[in-house]
Amino acid sequence: MGLSSFEEPGMRATLLIQRYETDLDVDDSIIESRINRVGLILYEPAYAAFQPGLHVGAFNINQSNNPVTAGMSLSGNYLGLLFHSLLYSHRHLGLQLEGSYTYHDADKVTNDQEVSLQWHEFMANLHIQMAHGNFYYAIGAYSQFIDGDETAYGAITQTREFKVNERTGVHFELEYRVDATGKIGIHVDNGGRQGVGLVFSRGF
């Protein structure tokens, strides 16, 4: 997440505050899942063709239509790798490919129930990005893949696999350059993932 300006050198650190919803498929039941994340993204944009990065943070997840997690807010951490690749750039227009892998691990313990959720998440998106003065815009499409396990002990004891119900969607980003190295922005997803994220970015 986050646009890369067309000439950006050096390390870039981004604070991400994000809230989104996505439906998970568990034993042919649709589980509505709401996720809040706060994390740090580090990019090394040394080459426009391939810019590797790392992201890490904390999150919580609440679910509807799942007896195992009813009334629970599970919390945990995530860690992953990501990249930007600027496929085309001409003056104020660019075409960018992004990809990421993230591992999530969350749990919750109550008097009679212990639940843990672990999942692997892969995302890819392709977007057109435009620059106008201090503003950067992007619009594109994404695809998400989730493979996870739900493990419960106590009043309900079971292990179930889950996956994402809807994989594709569209997204929009807007960023504003506040000074020579700092940017703030907003990221909006619709489709299989619906939500909004705020980014605060600084280059070094």
Q: Tell me the Cα Rg of the chain.
A: 18
Q: pLDDT under 70 in the chain at which residues?
A: 1-9, 46-48
- Please name the residue that has the structure tokens 């990809």: 99
**Res 44: pLDDT:** 80
Sign, CA torsion 150/151/156/157: positive
- Classify residue 19 as exposed, middle or buried by CB count within 10 Å of its CB (0-12, 13-18, 19+): middle
Segment (H or E) for 166: none
Q: Which two three-digit tokens encode residue 22?
A: 């996505």
> Up-side HSE of residue 193: CA atoms within 13 Å toward CB?
28
Quote the tokens at residue 42. Answer: 């580090």
Query: What distance separates the 2 farthest-apart alpha carbons in the chain?
Result: 61
Question: Which class would CATH give 12-65+74-106+134-142+165-203?
Answer: mainly beta
User: What are the C-alpha distances in Å from 156 to residues 33, 50, 159, 198?
Assistant: 20, 46, 10, 37
Domain ranges for the chain:
12-65+74-106+134-142+165-203
- pLDDT of 92: 87
What distance in Å separates the CA atoms of residue 54 and residue 127, rounded to the nearest whole number? Answer: 20
Strands 182-191, 51-64: pairing kind: unpaired
